[in-house]
Amino acid sequence: MIIVLNNKCNLNKEEYLKYIEEINAIDSQSKLVLCPTFLNINITPPTNVSLGAQNVSAKSQGAYTGEVSANQLKSFNVEFCLVGHSERRIYQKETNKEINSKIKRLLDKNITPILCVGETKEQKEKNQVNEIIRQEIIMAIEDLTESEKNKIIIAYEPIWSIGTNKIPKSQEIENILKQIKLLLPNSQILYGGSVNEKNVDTLKKINLIDGYLLGGLSLKTNDLKIFLKKIEN
């Protein structure tokens, strides 16, 4: 299982140093991918994780103030990068076209993109989930070769589920994952959105889940340990 720990905009340097010790003390068979904020990427990570970033520039380099390039991430041993997280789509108005460019920049540098897709509550109520997911994926993978497509990890995260303690019915998740598999048969698929040490018992029963993208739980290391024990048993 791949477990992505998305710290989002949390943990200053001092807090992160303490967090590293707590993560280091976790004994897990899963592949842990830690995505700290950009500044913390510069700090030697725990020994039991691969390093991920939460975002990357759509440009390869140049006069783009405030941006961080795939080349720069690579030079800090970043192996994975989230792309198109709903918080970036909403607050930074990231478009599917930019997301497509970001994926290309990452693949150029051999960094694995973790493409986040998911519907709003309103889209769900209007029965548009399948269409939204399909569009987000199709536009994100435009112009990629088959072998490039195979390298992308997809994270299905219903937007209404993120940070709300609500998750879809198992059957609903399974239907979406099946649709993603039809579009990208060789990609690994993660589920994200309010995943915790309690609801993992239900999520565990869904066959097509290859791993999880954790936000809030990534910061609660004691609960994270319980979660990892449960998925590894």
Q: Please give the residue ranges that form the binding site for ligand PGA (CB under 6 A).
A: 6, 157, 162-163, 192-195, 213-217
- The question of whether 157 is a catalytic residue gets the answer yes
Residue nearest to ligand PGA (CB): 215
Question: In 3-state terms, what secondary structure has residue 192?
Answer: strand
Residues making up the chain, counted from first to last: 233
Minimum CB separation of residue 30 from ligand PGA in Å reads 16
Distance CA 116, CA 84 (A): 5
Q: Are 195 and 14 in contact (CB under 8 A)?
A: no
Minimum CB separation of residue 212 from ligand PGA in Å reads 9
Name the catalytic one among 98, 119, 136, 157: 157
163 vs 198 by CB, closer to ligand PGA: 163
Closest by CA position to 183, among listed 225, 219, 130, 231: 130
Amino acid at 225: K
Strand-pair partners of 36: none
- The question of whether 87 is a catalytic residue gets the answer no
Distance CA 33, CA 196 (A): 17
59 vs 225 by CB, closer to ligand PGA: 225
Minimum CB separation of residue 61 from ligand PGA in Å reads 28
8 vs 59 by CB, closer to ligand PGA: 8
Name the catalytic one among 14, 85, 122, 125: 85
| Residues designated catalytic | 85, 157
